[in-house]
Amino acid sequence: MELEIMWPVKMSLVDITKIFSMFQPKDEDDNGERSQLNQAISKDDDKLLGELLSQERYIKFINSRSGWGVPGTPLRLAATRGHLKCLEVLLAHGAEVDSLDVKAQTPLFTAVSGRHLDCVQALLRAGANPNGSKYNNSSPILIAAREGEVEILKELLEHGAEVNVRSKMPDWVSNPCACSGPLYLSLVYGHFDCFRLLLLNGANPDFNCTEERLLARIKTPKSALEMCFRYGCGTEYVQLLIDFGANLCLPDLSVDKNIKQKEVFKLLTRARAQPRCLMSLSRITIRKYLKQGSGLHSIDCLDIPPILKNYVNHQISVNR
């Protein structure tokens, strides 16, 4: 039996353009206004953009989606390119700060992905949701933790981003990756400053997940301490987890020839053998109840000596 090979049809640039044009949103009233807005943003020409938006025929397209690939709003384009002045012009003219593209990504999400700190700050000041869209599988804080963008991460956390957020997955997913949050990502990718910042802002030091139902479905959930062994993290990671109250009763951990793991194993063994001191337990308890109540930012309002405030804020340590 002979197989007939069907060779792909050669297509001209005109044909390809015509196919892609089918995915473009159409508007009978659009006489090139959207294209001109996008061109001004692409060229980072904030003055021209301001002039265009001062006209009624342009302002009505300020939240309109357009563009190749992933159609988005003008604000998304400015955030993606990192064009701060254009972004500020759009916001001043009433651009929707949490407008979604076809992937349910907000302008803040794209600004974080592009590592544009100044745009992130401007969007958060304008009221952007620090957690991104509930319809998107990821979130700005997960991206910042993965990429090691500590300043962006700090901005998100200061504006109320959920520190124990996780990627959205179907309910039937029951593997360890299902509960991995920003703390796990900063650990796996070796971003120690992000790791410490997340713990300071209340990240769960055990599973970085507060969903008991999800943890119950996973046969062997991996704690942050166990992940330190798996990815060869140094003692500084483990010491932080110990200081922030991680559960030291883990499954048996084997030690290979990795020198870092041997040092980590010694540290963990020593911590298991010696009970935490009263001051350490007090700090863990205070931070736990403040997080559940008024928030960790209220530590500075406590009626205690400055040296104790610094200790509760993990700015100083004591002999264990």
219 and 197 in a common domain = yes
- The pLDDT score that the predictor gives to residue 3 is 42
- The pLDDT score that the predictor gives to residue 2 is 47
Q: Is residue 203 part of a domain?
A: yes
- Domain total of the chain: 3
pLDDT band for position 254 (50/70/90)? low
pTM over 0.85: no
- The pLDDT score that the predictor gives to residue 7 is 41
Structure tokens at 151: 């300043």
127 and 209 in a common domain = no
Among 91, 123, 127, 125, which Cα is nearest to 110's? 123
- Residue 74 or 3, more confident: 74
The dihedral through the CA atoms of 266, 270, 276, 280 has a sign that is negative
287 and 208 in a common domain = no
39 contact partners, CB below 8 Å, separation of at least 6: none
268 and 291 in a common domain = no
122 and 98 in a common domain = yes
- The pLDDT score that the predictor gives to residue 22 is 38
Q: Is residue 97 part of a domain?
A: yes
Q: Which amino acid is at 35?
A: S
168 and 103 in a common domain = no
- The pLDDT score that the predictor gives to residue 262 is 82
Among 125, 37, 41, which Cα is nearest to 83's? 41
| Domain CATH number, residue 82 | 1.25.40.20
As a whole number, the mean pLDDT across the chain is 84
- The pLDDT score that the predictor gives to residue 253 is 65
Q: Considering the chain, what percentage of its residues have pLDDT values greater than 90? A: 55
| Domain CATH number, residue 224 | 1.25.40
Q: Give the residue numbers spanning the domain of 303.
A: 275-320
pLDDT band for position 21 (50/70/90)? very low
Q: Is residue 64 part of a domain?
A: no
- In this prediction, residues 234-256 reach a mean pLDDT of 83
- Residue 96 or 10, more confident: 96
Asked whether the predicted pLDDT for residue 178 surpasses 90, the reply is no
- The pLDDT score that the predictor gives to residue 1 is 44
- The pLDDT score that the predictor gives to residue 30 is 76
Residue 208 in contact with residue 224, Cβ under 8 Å?
A: yes
Integer Cα distance of 288 and 254 in angstroms? 31
283 and 244 in a common domain = no
pLDDT band for position 229 (50/70/90)? confident
